[in-house]
C-alpha cells in the first residue's frame, strides 16, 4: 500500500506536466453560413431590378442532384462494396465513390444556402425600400 502511494506521488506531477492542451483552432469545426448584406451597388437597384435579381437567383436555390437512394451510382458503389469479388479493388472504388458523393452533397448544400442567403438579403432590401406598398 505504501509503495502504491509513493508511486502515485511520483507519477502525478509527471502526468500534470504532460497534459498541456493543444492550441485551439481558430476556424469553426462546422460550416457557419455567412450573413449576406447588400452592398452599395445592390442597394442602388430599384424595386423592379430587385425582383428581376431574385427571379434570376430563384432556380439556383434548388438541388438537381438525385437523392442518395435514387442515385444509380450510389447503388452500384454499395453493391461493389458488398460483393467485393476482386479483393480490395472493388471495395475501395465503391468507398471512394461514396465519399465523393458525400462531398458533392456537402458542396451542393453550401451552394444552396449561399443562394438562399443572397435572396434573403435582396428581400430585406425590398422590405427596407417599401416596394409595392
**CA distance readout (Å), 9 to 17, 18, 20:** 14, 15, 19
Over the range 13-52, which residues count as b (16 or more CB within 10 Å of their CB) and which as e?
eeeeeeeeeeeeeeeeeeeeeeebebeeebeebeeeebbe
The domain segmentation of the chain, as residue ranges, is 37-128
Residue 49 is placed in which grid cell?
A: 431590378
pLDDT at 45: 86
Highest mean pLDDT among 11-20, 29-38, 65-74, 80-89: 65-74
> pLDDT of 15-25, one tens digit each?
455 566 666 66
Name the residue with cell 417599401. 130
Amino acid at each position: 500500500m505504501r509503495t502504491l502511494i509513493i508511486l502515485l506521488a511520483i507519477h502525478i506531477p509527471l502526468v500534470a506536466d504532460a497534459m498541456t492542451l493543444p492550441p485551439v483552432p481558430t476556424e469553426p469545426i462546422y460550416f457557419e453560413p455567412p450573413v449576406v448584406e447588400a452592398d452599395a451597388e445592390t442597394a442602388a437597384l430599384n424595386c423592379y431590378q430587385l425582383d428581376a435579381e431574385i427571379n434570376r437567383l430563384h432556380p439556383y436555390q434548388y438541388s438537381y442532384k438525385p437523392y442518395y437512394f435514387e442515385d444509380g451510382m450510389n447503388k452500384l458503389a454499395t453493391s461493389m462494396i458488398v460483393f467485393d469479388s476482386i479483393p480490395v479493388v472493388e471495395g475501395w472504388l465503391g468507398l471512394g465513390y461514396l465519399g465523393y458523393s458525400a462531398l458533392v452533397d456537402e458542396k451542393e448544400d453550401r451552394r444552396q444556402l449561399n443562394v438562399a442567403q443572397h435572396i434573403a438579403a435582396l428581400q430585406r432590401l425590398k422590405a427596407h425600400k417599401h416596394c409595392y406598398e
